[in-house]
Amino acid sequence: MEAQTIMRVHRRYAGVLAGIAVAGLTLMGCSSGDSGGGDTATESTSGSATDTAGAATEVEVFTWWTSGGEKAGLDGLVSVLAEKYPNVEFINGAVAGGAGSAAKDLLQSRLQANDPPDTFQAHAGAELDDYIAAGQVEDISDLYTEFGLTDAFPADLLDLLTVDGAIYSVPANIHRANVVWANPSVIEAAGLDPTATYATMADWFTALDAVQASGKTALSIATTWTQVQLLETVLISDLGPDAYNGLWLGETDWTGADVTAALEDFQKLMSYTNTDRDGLDWPDALGMVTSGDAAFNVMGDWAAGELDAESLTAGTDYIYFPVPGTDGIFDFLADSFTLPVGAPHPDGAKAWLDVVGSLEGQTAFNKAKGSIPARTDADPMEFNEYQQSAIKDFGSDTIVPSLMHGAAAPIAQLNAISDATSKFTTGGSDLATFQSELAASAG
């Protein structure tokens, strides 16, 4: 899909979803692909059953979910696979590495060597561009009808997944990237009201100053990808949704004064962070908050799954709120699965995609992962306090695409932005150079 086409879709998406009612969970179509094999199906326990996956004997599922709530979510899908397709052996192809960076590198090597897994995880949106252009993933549109997904997923969300009339992935969930997780005890010890919210970055800086003066780390963060995620939330906060979307549409000038101001705010936020950040991954930075060593952490709501896995309680052990200046904006991403061209066990892939799109699969996965289902027929009461709030916000907020997590920009641009960010936050460039490198990433 052309980048410009994707951005037009996202712009339409933001406007439409702001008006979608909360009547359930709203997001992402899912499905499986067609690429050979078609034997009698194993009987499904409920919901969608596939007529083409019954011959499956195994499925290698390639993800970057290796620990905490992410691994628990994967285990939930595996348990549903065992129920719906008891003859299919699950082969765990997970590769550890923050935000999938290590996994994506290995996946690209395998695809180029014509050694694809049976299915692989990818973020829905622009991240799929390169795979589609290279002819590495199958058109799986026909499985939407076969699995009954055209009725289970909102039409506007199916539009988001459609590229020139075809669909290439099965979203398992909806995540929100612009969330602050905080320790109320650390905040109170700094003389602040732990129930306070911050309307602007300037308001938050005052609180961060107070925490820093108390001797605690004000804002914990980890390696480069978490810094890029922080950057995107600052751009959303300072630019607003329209101008932020314009960065990916070519309508907002990366060299403009408003972007300069946002980068200055990002630079200031980085001054509040832990000095060992580049040696940590996101669970480590989140752990600084829960252990009482830091007050705030910006992370996607997969953190909710991690916190649940540690038996921590919202409102007591931790609090959460949108990144200051982004209240009413939902920074969107979705984990999805594909059917690679040349998958050795396409029937197994179809069985997996059926599970990913099913009500049982999405409920089991998202309860553990911290995200919310893509289906509109899931019961909000099945989910925790944070997830219920995310369901409500997703139904009413303005939706914008995540940069770091594949919804806003192709992989090549994200890589360029990540390189520029790492160079800047490690002292290898000044702000003017950083801004010019971000502008150059847009081509």
* Domains of the chain, earliest start first: 25-172+337-388 (3.40.190.10), 179-331+404-441 (3.40.190.10)
DSSP per-residue codes, 324-388: TT-TTEEEEE-EEE--BTT-S-HHHHHHHHHHHHSHHHHHHHHHHHS-B-S-SSS-GGGS-HHHH
Indicate yes or no: pTM above 0.85: no
Residue pair 183/294 in contact (Cβ under 8 Å)? The answer is yes
DSSP SS3 for 62? strand
Q: Check residue 174 and give its pLDDT.
A: 92
Euclidean distance between CA atoms 335 and 356, whole angstroms: 10
The residue type of 63 is T
CA angle 144, 148, 152 (to 5 degrees): 95
State residue 54's pLDDT score.
57
Beta-carbon contacts of residue 137 (< 8 Å; ≥ 6 apart):
33, 128, 131, 168, 169, 338, 339, 340, 341
Task: Let me know: does 31 contact 265? Beta carbons within 8 Å.
Answer: no
Using alpha carbons only, how large is the chain's radius of gyration in Å? 21
* pLDDT score recorded for residue 36: 34
pLDDT at 244: 97
Tokens of 209: 């100053």
Q: Which residues of 142-162 are buried (b: 16+ CB within 10 A; e: fewer)?
A: ebbebbbbeebbbebbbebbe
Cross-strand bridge partners of residue 121: 337
HSE-up of residue 217 (Cα within 13 Å, Cβ side):
23
So what's the pLDDT on residue 98? 60
Per the DSSP assignment, residues forming a β-bridge with 39 are: 53
Q: Which residue has the tokens 């595996």?
A: 78
Each residue's pLDDT tens digit, 260-313? 999 999 999 999 999 999 999 999 999 999 999 999 999 999 999 899 889 999
The predicted structure's pLDDT at residue 14: 38
Q: d(Cα 45, Cα 29) in Å, to the nearest integer?
A: 21
CB 355 within 8 A of CB 151: no
Q: Across the 443 residues of the chain, what is the mean pLDDT of every consecutive 10-residue run?
A: 33 34 32 33 39 74 91 96 96 84 91 97 88 95 92 76 90 95 98 94 97 98 97 98 95 98 98 97 96 98 90 95 96 94 96 97 94 92 93 89 92 95 98 98 91
State the pLDDT at residue 153.
Answer: 80
Q: Quick one: pLDDT at residue 52?
A: 56
